[in-house]
């Protein structure tokens, strides 16, 4: 490694082997590497869109391209690019969020026909928990009743803000932006937390989008950052158990994540694994008891009845493609079809940031070649990363988006965010310096991709599905 930049303690120049672009590019100024990544991001994303029969609306988004590029170069002009861009991005999201909040109050926010926002608003208005979103949905319902339904508050609200949907729009916006700030404060200057924030779905979550996922996405990334922060061998079984039980009751889709955490901890500390698993069960049981007064048996039965197995409430395009009447996944033949490949390419392009999985793969190969400390075969975090990667790739490819690829584009957010997180985490650890040769071009590439496709998901509407 070369000398440190003044006042940062971080290497200013990395070796030729460490360079993301090869050769002498590691010694280029950060703004130059960022600009190169930005240009490549625009070019590659345009090629991806052309391959899908789409096009970038260059004229309509010209100002956005200029503003995003200027923001990137300004942050890269001084040391601490990752940290500076993270906070600048939060400022941009907050400004846009305030505009969206104003539009919520005036009923001027564009309709985003995705997800189950209407169902969520109905449950919150009724003061009930949604079974598959147990603890978080009940918290939202209780907060709505305790604040929004107070006679003095409700009487003062303008009509557009009086509905449960308007309450959820503002709550989702506040939680998403607040969670973004907490992540940047807790893990400053880390690609692992900044890269997920540059995915289109993260931006959507901070714009008054009514759904459950904006309420849990920051907690999801925070849990990942905490789990991979240091070896699991040094974690307390109490903390691991409580975390696993909390994740499982926060969202039923996090049950495999909780299981993977407990499994990896069992590899790390087999003698304490039973303690952790027991605490996870106790935590889950207590949460269910608090959130579902009818008891765990009633909760499990209700949850099973609302999970839409088989052909229940499925988009007609997926009729006959479900694995079995008791499955929520595609059959192998359907998953391996060209139509499914097109659907996956569509959701990754417009919702997840298509660069996430390729970048994670490149970062993983690089980490293996360099023997990054803490990511060896004997390290439990390695097996946790492999287990989560396998599960989320399966989830991405086999999970049935019952409303169709466009209307259910947010359903796959755990896969989108994990790919970006894992890529960033591997780069953070392998370089031992957030401002290495990798950071500038990677951030430039991600920001350029977002400038190309983000407005469609967030504002102007998605193109027709393939």
Average pLDDT over residues 63-79: 92
Supply the mean pLDDT for the chain: 90
**Which pLDDT does position 20 carry in this prediction?**
40
**Which pLDDT does position 372 carry in this prediction?**
65
What is the distance between the alpha carbons of residues 452 and 225, in angstroms, rounded to a whole number? 28
Q: Is the pLDDT of residue 25 over 90?
A: no
**Which pLDDT does position 208 carry in this prediction?**
95
pLDDT tens digits for 200-257? 999 999 999 999 999 999 999 999 999 999 989 899 999 999 999 999 999 999 999 9
**Which pLDDT does position 371 carry in this prediction?**
67
Q: How far is CA 223 from the centre of its chain?
A: 12
pLDDT level of residue 8 (50, 70, 90 thresholds): very low
Average pLDDT over residues 339-350: 96
What is the distance between the alpha carbons of residues 438 and 25, in angstroms, rounded to a whole number? 10
Helix axes 237-250, 213-227, angle to 10 degrees: 160
Of 9 and 251, the one with more pLDDT: 251
**Which pLDDT does position 212 carry in this prediction?**
97
Average pLDDT over residues 183-210: 97
pLDDT tens digits for 161-175? 999 999 999 999 999
Which residue, 455, 464, 465, 353, is CA-closest to 57?
455
**Which pLDDT does position 313 carry in this prediction?**
87
Token pair of 338, please? 């060209």
Q: Is the pLDDT of residue 16 over 60?
A: no
Lowest mean pLDDT among 12-16, 125-129, 295-299: 12-16
What is the distance between the alpha carbons of residues 205 and 352, in angstroms, rounded to a whole number? 12
Lowest mean pLDDT among 260-264, 280-284, 364-368, 385-389: 364-368
Nearest 5°: CA angle at 126, between 107 and 139? 85
What is the distance between the alpha carbons of residues 100 and 109, in angstroms, rounded to a whole number? 6
pTM score: 0.92
Which residue, 243, 217, 219, 226, is CA-closest to 190?
226
Residues with Cβ < 8 Å from 181, sequence gap 6 or more? Answer: 90
Phi and psi at residue 4, to the nearest 5° = -90, 150
pLDDT tens digits for 116-149? 999 999 999 999 999 999 999 999 999 999 999 9
Nearest 5°: CA angle at 400, between 208 and 423? 65
Handedness of CA 64, 67, 70, 72 (dihedral sign): negative
pLDDT tens digits for 100-109? 999 999 989 9
Average pLDDT over residues 427-448: 80
Average pLDDT over residues 426-445: 78
pLDDT level of residue 375 (50, 70, 90 thresholds): low
What is the distance between the alpha carbons of residues 29 and 12, in angstroms, rounded to a whole number? 9
Q: Is the pLDDT of residue 14 over 50?
A: no
**Which pLDDT does position 431 carry in this prediction?**
57
pLDDT level of residue 198 (50, 70, 90 thresholds): very high
């Amino acid at each position: 490694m070369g000398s440190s930049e003044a006042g940062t303690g971080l290497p200013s120049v990395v070796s030729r082997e460490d360079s993301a672009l090869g050769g002498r590019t590691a010694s280029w100024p950060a703004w130059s590497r960022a600009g190169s990544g930005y240009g490549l991001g625009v070019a590659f994303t345009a090629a991806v869109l052309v391959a899908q029969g789409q096009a970038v609306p260059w004229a309509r988004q010209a100002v956005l391209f200029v503003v995003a590029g200027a923001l990137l170069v300004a942050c890269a002009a001084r040391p601490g690019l990752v940290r500076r861009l993270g906070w600048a991005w939060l400022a941009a999201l907050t400004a846009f969020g305030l505009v969206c909040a104003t539009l919520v109050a005036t009923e001027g926010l564009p309709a985003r026909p995705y997800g189950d926002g209407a169902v969520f608003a109905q449950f919150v208005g009724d003061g009930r928990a949604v079974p598959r979103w147990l603890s978080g949905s009940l918290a939202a319902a209780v907060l709505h009743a305790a604040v929004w339904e107070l006679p003095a508050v409700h009487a003062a609200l303008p009509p557009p803000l009086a509905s449960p949907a308007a309450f959820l729009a503002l709550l989702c916006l506040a939680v998403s932006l607040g969670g973004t700030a907490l992540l940047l404060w807790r893990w400053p200057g880390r690609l692992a937390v900044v890269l997920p924030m540059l995915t289109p779905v993260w931006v959507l979550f901070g714009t008054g989008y009514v759904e459950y996922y904006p309420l849990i996405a920051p907690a999801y990334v925070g849990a990942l950052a905490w789990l991979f922060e240091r070896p699991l061998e040094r974690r307390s079984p109490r903390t691991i158990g409580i975390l696993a039980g909390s994740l499982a009751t926060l969202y039923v889709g996090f049950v495999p994540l909780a299981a993977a955490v407990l499994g990896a901890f069992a590899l790390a500390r087999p003698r304490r694994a039973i303690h952790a698993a027991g605490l996870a069960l106790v935590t889950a049981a207590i949460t269910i008891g608090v959130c579902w007064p009818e008891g765990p048996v009633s909760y499990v039965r209700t949850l099973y009845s609302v999970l839409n197995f088989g052909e229940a409430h499925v988009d007609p395009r997926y009729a006959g493609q479900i694995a079995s009447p008791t499955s929520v996944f595609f059959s192998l033949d359907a998953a391996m079809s060209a139509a499914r490949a097109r659907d996956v390419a569509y959701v990754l392009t417009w919702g997840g940031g298509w660069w996430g999985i390729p970048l994670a793969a490149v970062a993983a190969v690089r980490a293996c070649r360099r023997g990054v400390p803490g990511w060896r075969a004997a390290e439990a975090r390695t097996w946790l990363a492999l287990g989560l990667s396998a599960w989320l790739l399966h989830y991405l490819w086999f999970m049935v988006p019952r409303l169709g690829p466009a209307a259910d584009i947010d359903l796959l957010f755990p896969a989108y965010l994990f790919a970006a997180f894992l890529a960033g985490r591997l780069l953070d650890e392998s370089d031992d310096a957030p401002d290495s040769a990798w950071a500038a071009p990677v951030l430039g590439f991600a920001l350029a991709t977002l400038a190309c496709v983000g407005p469609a998901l967030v504002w102007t509407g998605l193109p027709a599905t393939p």
